[in-house]
């Protein structure tokens, strides 16, 4: 029978002694009492100090007490699964975290690299962003679902993330634009989720130990084969060396004329523009295409594997290299020759995210995998040429190595979080790129100048040609 919080605190020697043992304030102990639950990160300390068992800290589902987050830092047997648990998050290091499932029952798709995103809004855009292919997203913001979903906010035709992890139960939609709840939307797209998880603990684990593989199990029959699930997580090769752009790119070329969302009309097709731009789709977000159209571009989107000859045959005034998932060094095998051909033809080039990394590789630089990655909003980036700081949205697990930049390529932007490269430009060609997402508008308009810079570069190059 689980013990009450009061009994546990008494065993620890009272509130002040409990706070001292856990390394927290007495205010935190008050919150334990208020929530009637001890955060899982303190369970090891409590168990060691009191001699209690893990079952003593588990919720009694027959009572009216709220349940603590259902997690543990060590593998546990199915018999120790909390009564209310319907799903599990299994990490490759052997960690089992129990929770409540939502969305679709889990499939083979719910396996990938677990990461965290710090955005407080935009969960639908995050889930549909092709750059999240092969990844399980942990949202650090606890209340997910409150704006529902709407087709207008999709960044691609399908959800590209493999699963999502949240702390609280999904919030019911309370937004006039919502056409469907998040839960129903996930079920329709066969994507599972899990709630009741200590997302702060996951975030700390990734920050301290780096990314790892995980799998979300939400079986329809409620049965968990934990050894098999753990083996599957450990067998997944990881994103390094993986080319995912082929999986998310378009099947054939298409035109794009829709502009950015405007009140009260939403998104609408724009009149034909004079700047013909070819956008290479490595996993392009729709809002990037909208921003290009709104900046005055007539956009034609082509698949990731399109060659330089095929791109140039469309006679573009400029070429855009899109965002996308996976290891840039793997995608570079076919992307870099095409980019080099476009550069040699003198076409203005603008890249974002994976497109930035691929441009750097084409110019002779190198990329590497970040220890934690940058995902979410409110990430400060300094423009080295103007000294201004932009508040940006980011989603990348790889970066360009500043030390590898050739002498005719300069760093233009840097992360104020970790000093990693966030932008480059070259004096050899009319080309530049940034690592972050100017179209995502966390600033909200801090980085929109980049689209204007691209069309200005096109206009200047066209006049001097």
Binding residue ranges for L-glutamine: 131, 324, 326, 354, 357, 395, 397-398
Q: Distance between CA 191 and CA 109 in Å, rounded?
A: 8
Distances (CA, A) of 144 to 86, 147, 273, 394: 19, 8, 39, 19
Beta-bridge partners for 281: 303
* Catalytic residue (choose from 113, 297, 353, 374): 353
Pairing of strands 96-103, 87-91: antiparallel
Beta-bridge partners for 164: 137, 193
In the structure encoding, which two tokens stand for residue 88, read together?
């599990």
Which of 89, 117, 112 lies closest to 373 in space, CA to CA?
117
In the structure encoding, which two tokens stand for residue 394, read together?
């980011």
Q: Which residue do the tokens 């999904």 mark?
A: 170
Q: Which residue do the tokens 């040429």 mark?
A: 385
In the structure encoding, which two tokens stand for residue 103, read together?
């969305």
* Catalytic residue (choose from 356, 374, 437, 448): 437
Which of 127, 285, 275, 118 lies closest to 206 in space, CA to CA?
118
State how far Cα 44 lies from the chain centre: 30
Tell me 209's DSSP state: H
Phi, psi of 316 (to 5 degrees): -75, 150
In the structure encoding, which two tokens stand for residue 209, read together?
């130990």
Tell me 421's DSSP state: E
Do 141 and 132 contact (CB within 8 A), yes or no? no
Tell me 271's DSSP state: P
* Catalytic residue (choose from 396, 413, 439, 448): 439
Binding residues, by number, are 131, 324, 326, 354, 357, 395, 397-398
Side-by-side strand order, sheet with 367-383: 254-256, 297-303, 275-281, 318-321, 349-352, 431-434, 421-426, 409-415, 367-383, 389-400
CA dihedral 188, 192, 198, 200 (to 10 degrees): -80
Active site residue 265: no
Active site residue 195: no
C-alpha neighbours within 13 Å on the C-beta side of residue 212: 21
Active site residue 437: yes
In the structure encoding, which two tokens stand for residue 320, read together?
């855009």
In the structure encoding, which two tokens stand for residue 330, read together?
């793997």
Q: Which helix (H) or strand (E) segment is 255 a member of?
A: strand 254-256
Could you give the residue numbers annotated as active site?
353, 437, 439
């Amino acid at each position: 029978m689980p013990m009450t919080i009061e009994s546990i605190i008494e065993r620890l020697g009272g509130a002040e002694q409990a706070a001292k043992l856990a390394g927290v304030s007495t205010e935190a102990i008050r919150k334990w009492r208020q929530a009637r639950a001890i955060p899982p990160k303190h369970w090891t300390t409590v168990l060691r100090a009191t001699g209690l068992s893990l079952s003593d800290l588990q919720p009694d589902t027959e009572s009216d007490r709220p349940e603590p987050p259902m997690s543990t830092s060590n593998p546990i047997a199915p018999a120790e699964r909390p009564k209310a648990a319907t799903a599990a998050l299994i990490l490759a290091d052997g960690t089992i975290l129990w929770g409540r499932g939502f969305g679709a029952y889990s499939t083979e798709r719910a396996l990938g690299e677990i990461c965290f995103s710090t955005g407080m809004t935009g969960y639908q855009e995050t889930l549909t962003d092709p750059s999240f292919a092969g990844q399980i997203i942990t949202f650090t913001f606890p209340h997910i679902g409150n704006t529902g979903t709407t087709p207008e906010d999709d960044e691609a035709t399908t959800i590209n993330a493999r699963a999502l992890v949240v702390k609280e139960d999904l919030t019911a939609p309370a937004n006039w634009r919502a056409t469907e709840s998040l839960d129903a939307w996930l079920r329709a797209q066969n994507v599972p989720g899990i709630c009741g998880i200590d997302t702060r603990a996951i975030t700390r684990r990734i920050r301290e130990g780096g990314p790892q593989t995980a799998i979300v199990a939400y079986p329809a029959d409620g049965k968990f084969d934990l050894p098999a699930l753990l083996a599957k997580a450990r067998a997944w090769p990881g994103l390094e060396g993986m080319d995912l752009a082929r999986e998310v790119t378009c099947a054939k070329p298409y035109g794009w004329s829709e502009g950015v969302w405007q009140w009260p009309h939403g998104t609408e097709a724009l009149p034909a523009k004079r700047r013909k731009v070819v956008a290479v789709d490595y996993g392009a977000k729709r809002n990037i295409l909208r921003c290009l159209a709104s900046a005055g571009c007539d956009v034609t989107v082509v698949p990731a594997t399109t060659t330089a000859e095929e791109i140039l045959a469309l006679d573009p005034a400029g070429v855009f290299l899109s965002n996308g998932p996976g290891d840039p060094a793997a995608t570079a095998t076919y992307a870099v020759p095409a980019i080099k051909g476009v550069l040699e033809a003198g076409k203005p080039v603008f890249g974002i995210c994976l497109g930035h990394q691929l441009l750097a590789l084409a110019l002779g630089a190198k990329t590497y995998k970040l220890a934690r990655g940058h995902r979410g909003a409110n990430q400060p980036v300094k423009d080295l040429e103007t000294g201004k700081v932009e508040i940006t949205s980011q989603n990348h697990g790889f970066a360009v190595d500043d030390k590898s930049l050739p002498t005719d390529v300069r760093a233009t932007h840097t992360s104020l979080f970790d000093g990693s490269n966030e932008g480059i430009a070259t004096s050899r060609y009319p080309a530049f790129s940034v690592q972050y997402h100017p179209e995502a508008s966390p600033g909200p308009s801090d980085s929109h100048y980049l689209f204007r810079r691209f069309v200005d570069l096109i206009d200047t190059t066209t006049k001097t040609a």
